[in-house]
Amino acid sequence: MSLDRDTLFIDGWTAPASGDTLQVVSPHTEEVVATVPEGTTADVDRAVAAARRAFDDGPWPRMSPSERIDVIANLSGLYAARLGDMAEVISLEMGSPTSFANLAQSPAPWMQIEAFLAIAREFPWESERPGALGAPVVVRHEPVGVVAAIPPWNVPQFTIMSKLVPALLAGCTVVVKPAPETPLDAYLLAELLQDAGVPDGVVNIVAAGREVGEHLVAHPGVDKVAFTGSTAAGRRIAAVCGEQLKRVSLELGGKSAAIVLDDADLAATVEGLKFTALMNSGQACVAQTRILASRANYDTVVDALAEAVAGMKVGDPMDPATEIGPMVAQRQQERVEKYIALGQEEGARVVVGGLGMPEGLDRGWYVRPTVFADVDNRMRIAQEEIFGPVLSVIPFDDVDDAVRIANDSEYGLAGTVWTGDPDAGLEVARRVRAGTYGVNTYTMDFAAPFGGFKSSGIGREFGPEGLASFTELKSIYTEAPAAG
């Protein structure tokens, strides 16, 4: 079946403004697997105009919350029936191992839909509270308007859903700009939205590159930008939105730390770290790629981690046994390899991996999963987000030192502590400045807010907080206070 497309999803299916195309290339074979239209600024103008009409004059914002919930519930059922297809498309276009794709790339977006539906059913869309002047006040949550949703390529559906579903439930209309590397999953989503009964113009999808994305961010018809991506891009978006007083939420980078205390079950810890540090081949903003081990237990942790990483299967992302797939693009492969070389130049010791293609592979954008020992937290490999399967094991003196090192980062997105004493772990969790944290585990609960401290972003996704971020608050005074 051909995955090629020749239309864009703007007010329904429509021809693109130009004949420019994006080639979707398999990171495993380096071959073109599909061609789709490349969106232009003219396409973005049409998409924003369609979303603007749908918001200003269309039925969607004027439906009751329960009516919108019914439509999104339709979407949930349709999405659940296509989880396998969605996972396969994402593995094909960006190289996510099928094991991870079927665990997270498609089920987690569906779980978000279900979680937001539950939240929306209990959300205080309009409530009355006693006023300080003696008369009641009506407080309403109203939709923020036209939303520009800009997801990255690493978990494309996951990051679309964290924006799209709460925006739709709030009554907003949306322009989604998928990354040019991963447009195919968005086409499948467009079909599901249409089948679910979402009116034309309420959601518009234009895959394009950075310049077109900047045009969308700065567009005067957009009321809010919701972005997931690099901290550098987030700073630029924040500046543009700040100039326009445009609402913005940013989920950005991370360089998270996993603290391994001496009383941790080492076998269970290493098994957990294989996921928390190397999920999606290390291409995850929450990946805990700084592994902190006490000096007394340092060599033991390094050896156990090295043995585990050396045994991970690297290769074809469509093979269910594969644990580490390719990088999304050649430029990302080159970026990760430059960091591996840099780590050696900085004096860190390669215990496993290093430069060169993994054994048995002669094509594809692969790097060898790498564990560095003798890492100082001031090294660039410990401070900068690499976004690949590269781990740095850093020694600490005591718990206070471990917390200091974990916090010694411009980022503050995620983290874990591994210990035999959960109460002590909870105390560590309270001290680390990160938006999400795990004790002997790491996960995301879609009923709870997700986001970062410091350079890891602004605002929160998921939970009631994530839904509220797509609303504006209005206070209505219904009667004059009684005369004193």
To the nearest 10 degrees (0 to 180), the angle between helices 156-170 and 65-80 is: 160
- Classify residue 70 as left (phi > 0), alpha (psi -120 to 50) or beta: alpha
Q: 124 by DSSP, 3-state: which?
A: coil
Which DSSP category does 107 fall into? H
Residues 6+ apart with CB under 8 A from 474: 139, 140, 142
Structural contact between residues 309 and 352, judged by C-beta atoms closer than 8 angstroms: yes
C-alpha radius of gyration, the chain, whole number: 23
285 counts as catalytic:
yes
What stretches of 155-209 adopt beta strand conformation (E)? 173-176, 203-205
**Residue keyed to tokens 């098994």:** 271
465 counts as catalytic:
no
Q: Choosing from 93, 172, 241, 285, which is the catalytic residue?
A: 285
Which string of b and e fits 88-118 if b means at least 16 CB within 10 Å?
Answer: bbbbbbbbbbbbbbbbbbbbbbbbbbbbbbe
Q: Which amino acid, residue 9? A: F
Q: Which two tokens stand for residue 466?
A: 């994530």
CA separation for the pair 291, 406 (Å, rounded)? 9
CA separation for the pair 234, 185 (Å, rounded)? 23
Q: Regarding beta strands 453-454 and 438-439, do their DSSP bridges make them parallel or antiparallel, or are they unpaired?
A: unpaired
Q: Choosing from 38, 88, 251, 461, which is the catalytic residue?
A: 251
Within a 10 A sphere around the Cβ of 195, how many other Cβ atoms? Answer: 12
CA separation for the pair 281, 335 (Å, rounded)? 14
To the nearest 10 degrees (0 to 180), the angle between helices 107-122 and 156-170 is: 20
Q: Which amino acid, residue 67? A: E
List active site positions.
251, 285
